[in-house]
Structure 1
Amino acid sequence: MIKAVFLQITLFFLTLSLGISQDISFDSLNQYYQNELKNAHERNFKQTDLFKKVEKTPLSQISKFSQFQESLKLMALVESQEENELGIQLISTIIPLAKSKDQFQAFLYYKLAQFYQKVSKPVESLEYYLKATTFLSKLKANSLLAHAYLRISIINLSGWNNEISIEFANKGLQTLKTIEKFTRTDSLSLLGLHEVKGIAYRRTHRFDESLSSINKAIEISTALQDSVRLALNNGNKATIFYKKGDYDLAIPLLEKDFETSIEAGVYNSGMNALIYLSWIYSEMGNREAVVSTFEKMQAIEKKYSITDPKSKAEYLKVGATVAEIKGDTAKSNQYLREYILEDKIRDSINMSNDIASLHERHLMEQEISKLELLQNANQLQASHLKLRTALLIIIALTLLVVLWYVFTLRSKNKKIDKLNEMLEAKVSERTARLMEINKELDTYLYRASHDIRRPIRTLLGLNNIAQINSDPEQMKQLFSKVQSTAMSMDKMLFKLQMAYELNSSHATEKVEIEDLIKECLDDMSLEIKEHNATVTVNIHEQATTLDGNTALLRIALDNIIENALLYQRDEDSEIEIFTDIGNYFFYIHVKDNGFGIPQKYFGDLFKPYFKISNKTQGSGLGLFLAHKAISFLAGEISVSSTVNEGSQITLKIPINPK
């Protein structure tokens, strides 16, 4: 017994000590990796030895930096040998083992995104850059976070998701504003973000914003003394002028871009400059310049093969144009066939869809992560309390008390788990309910503002007429219209009041149906008189009372009776209200001899603000409110109708509500 007790105590303290990990910042972690990468380059490790080392190195759960060091050394060796596929496999293996530290997760996701970038898998790279930003943001590693946003915006730009690209570029710029001391790396991130915005704005034909972003990029390139990036941005600026039709401004910038790019060995950029020059000369009708420009392109292509698929396709397209200028139809057709094979537009569209889908999934994962953090807060607090209390009990009490306390804690944890489950269910239910109420409230406020303003404008108009009119007979008519307008406004406000009352609590009570119907008819007395309606009430001798809620039933009947009065086709309307009862349900029927409802509208009758015709006087809320009120009683509303003969609406309410 004593040995077992001491064994449990030893395991407890061992677990506690393993849980305490070395405190290390993300920047120091990154610095350690860079040092290991430098050492790996200097050692010139052989590839065969590398594969053996990766295969033989045992990996286990990682909770401390000392445990993570071996993994970092392996990753540095893999990266130094540019074994990118192996790097992807290695990091994918390490990630599940290092979930205890945000710093480790951030670093691993960031490196995995880079490896996918190197093997030209932009969608996978984007996925892990997005995951890395979640942790980098939490750790406030803003320099690397800004660079991650830059990579995300570039991938979206390559997939032609221009708006998403602008969104993340702006996030990157906002992140850079929080950095007090800028490094050259931060300046390069700033340069790249402005370049991305410039290109994305140009694609969406927002040329002023595009020009502003590119001009900022030119300023940064000049400050960094980066002649190549300066030439490239002047080329981007020239492209904007080309799109705007300002050819005279575009040509010298493109020529300078070409010269600088070729001198720096950036041949794809030089080729792109010539491609745009050829299109400008073609649109200007300068055929000789088109031919001479293409000859320069051929010289570059022979010496340095074009690697960018888009540039290659545009090169072939220009070749077809030049061949056509020279009258060589066969050569032109050959270029066009090669252009079609090289064109990657469909792949670009597919990547665009994948990237946009990934972006939406990332947003959803962020929201789920926030909810999980809220739900786990109580569990974390309970865990911390258990550790602190256990330490005090171990010091203060005997070994027997310690064992008893462990047993007690286990039972308490089970209760806490049950309480948490109940709390989660209640939170989910209330959240869904609040979202539904907020949505309805938005709709009510929007429509109510329009509906209430209409009678107010009518009253203001009548007031203006009254001020210039002194005829007693006409004034009498004006006051009559004022009264009817005010009553219309009162009805609208009453509908909104009903909507508010529906969201209150509704206790079950005994309801006298005859008294309820009398109150409803009293409510409608003016409308009944106005429509010269005859209302007949027949209460079944066994259907006089039911278990329900007076307020809800009154809302339902008020709106149904009002509906029956509004949609009458004769001056003398007839309405019959009668009750019935079955084994499980209580029925209240309201029958009229009005216009009737075409069957094609049955599916929309209970939607808010639905009206069969805009010429009717109703607000479109009546049947919606009635349906909602009855749904609170777990009941149903059914409609039967014949056009030009009338309608019957039936309230079906459970006899024994739960």
Structure 2
Amino acid sequence: MLRLFFVLALFYVQALPVFGQANPVDSLSKALEDTRNKRERVDILNELSFRTNNTEPAKSLDYATRAYQEAYEIKYSRGIQAALSLQGYYYYQKGEHTQALEYLRRSSAVTPADYEFQAYNLIITGNVFRATATYDSARQCYQRSISLLNGKNAPRYLAIGYKNLGKLCVLEWKLSEAREALQRALQVYESMNNRYGIADTWFALSDVSKNEAKFAEAREYVNKGCQYATELNNDYLKIYCLSNEADVHYKLGDYTRALKIFFEALELLKARDLPMMEADLYSSVGDAYEALGQNDMALKYFLEALKITERTGMRHETGKLYSNMAWIYKNQMNFRLAHDYIRRSLELRKAIGDAHGISNCYNVLGVIYMQEKKYKESTVALEQALEIRKRIGHREGVSASLFNIAIVYEEQKQYQKALAVQTEALTLDEAIGNKFSLGISYNGMGNLLIKLRNFPAAAQSLKQAGKLALETGSRTLLMNNNFYWSQYFEATKDPARALQYYKKFASLNDSIYNDMSAQKLAELQALYQIEKKDQEIKSLNLQRQRHENEIELQRSQLNQQSIIIISAICGIVTLSLLAIVVYRYNRRLTKAHREITEQKEEIQSQSEELIEANQTIAEINRKLEEKIETRTVELSQAYKELDTFFYRSSHDFRRPLTTFLGLSEVAKITVKDSNALELFDKVKETATNLDKMLVKLQSISDVGSQQLVYKEVMIKEIFDTVCDGFRSELQRKNIRVSSEIRLTDKFISYPAMIRIIIENLVENAIHFSGTDSPFIKLRASQTRDYITIDLQDNGQGIAKEYQDQVFDMYYRANERSKGNGLGLYIVKKAVEKLDGSISLSSIPLIGSTFTIMLPMAYEARKFKV
């Protein structure tokens, strides 16, 4: 018995820091049933608690609670201390830090104290302080645990102490100290051949390398850790493997790949109740969505993470999320909320002494000021960020701040100052060697040199950026490079090549958008299936709980019956009466045991059905993902073929129509017969109408493909040009035209698309003009980051019952209309393509007003964080 106790105790001490390794839970449960030694029972219950603390947290807490109760009854101090530590660890993992500290305090107060458990309690206490960003207290706990263990034979706990001290230094951006502490932990783990500890330390070292911008080294550490995670088949390590692998992809600009891997990690995490890890993954998913320009999805995941971090008191992560949300609101031009959240983040990060976080806040604040055109305030904030980043050795951050300062100078047209700062940032990026970040800098340098009219140097920079885009495989980098090439050729008066590169830019933009759409669809499908599965599991758990309650009630009744029978036996003298009572009791007990056995079998059957249902759901998910991918590819190919056919057919049909129109004009000169001339007029009229229809069909193709130039839109000039095109019809119907443009900022969009919208609305107003002083009036005004365009006429108007249908293809509300029913359909399609909205207000015989709202677009993702 004594030997078994020491074996279990040693096994427990060595295994306690390990998270979820393969474990003999069934063997321990059997040992618990067999042993009658009370101390052995406590040790086994504590070991069961440890073995289930991450797979079945509720069961783990139950084991630890039972261990504490039984240890307290026999005054077994070591068992009490272990049980309290395990309960503290449970509450730490749940993010309930106040309760965790209380249990750890009680464990440390147990006498006589075990130095190993004292050290372990100090480490977990340090982890609680680290999670709540109380860094000084966390450091004291780790240093005290290391001091307590030095010179003693407790290598595993010593390694844990150094490892967690290293993780704290990573948060504080004390990278040299972090690397030293983690290397010490790694040496201890390697001397013990503790593969779990080695893998966990490699993942922590990868964070150091990523902060130092040594991404090749970081990837090497991650690959080593992932190899051990696979060999050990440990879910916790697998989650760390996936999240670190995705983070490396994110740092190198492969956002789509990073997002996919983050979701794999989240899927693996759903089976576990680990809120702190869940918050970290939600935040990372939000970062990837923001980098892809999906601000709505990014904000969704940031808010989900924020719910957890604010509830659990994770101040470091909360400060980071506030800053991320400020960046999203800045992207959406909502400067009020952007300032509010960056203020919250800065206050919190100053309170916890997070130098890296403070520099991030100043950088974001500088970009917000820049977009508000407050250039002086922007420069001050960015220089504050630059000073802190230089001090803590954040080289990538220094490059980003320099890059943003250069943009501030560029916005003020101080191009030579911008060039000097941009050159400094580029030199630093070359020294760091991050090809993705270097590609961004070369693109920015090329854009700046175009504005300086230094075309040879601009071309060289853009070539370097394009080369790096291909080397990194970053579609985002390549897309921006194509856009800047189109700007280059437009500036060098080569419109054909400018259009060629713009088409490449638009194609990559559509490709990234389609990938994101497929990712969203797959995510929604997965969430639906998981929710459905969770509902089924919840229902089965309720049934199982009901059965367990019924069984417990029966057991309670049986216990009461036993007490009654024992009391009756004491009062009964005759042996015959005692035999009868015992016989009846046994019958009842057998019946109850049979009922309990049947209920257990029923629960087992339901569990097997649940497992089978989960497998079916997984197979359905896999097939759905394959179908979605196949259909997306087929749909994309069909769209391209249809667009090509549409474009070529419209051009081919227009050639003979042009010939007909030319012949009709020739006939007016050569033919004298009045009947023949009348027929030629009819031919000309028909050909003209058909040509207009083909032009509209071609407009639909142009709207769908969006192969257009993106620049400042001159609303008045477009309106005047359109009216000139309809000059003869306007004069024939005596229609007055006027315009009123009130814009404070430049309207940046697709001029050709805006012309299509205005042209079709003007044509519609002419066709349905009134007879009493007819007019067409265009008004344009700006409200914050949107432009409102109103086109008003006093024509025939549209009845209310037809107003919802006028934007449908081929719909004509007026049977006398000679139009083809495509004009308003094209208008709505173009408006939606520009992320705008259109509405109609019309009264029959009074007139109509079409109101269009479009974003005052700006150049997307121009800054570095």
Tell whether the structures are fold-level matches, with TM greater than 0.5.
Answer: no
Taking structure 1 as the reference length, what is the TM-score of the superposition?
0.39
Taking structure 2 as the reference length, what is the TM-score of the superposition?
0.31
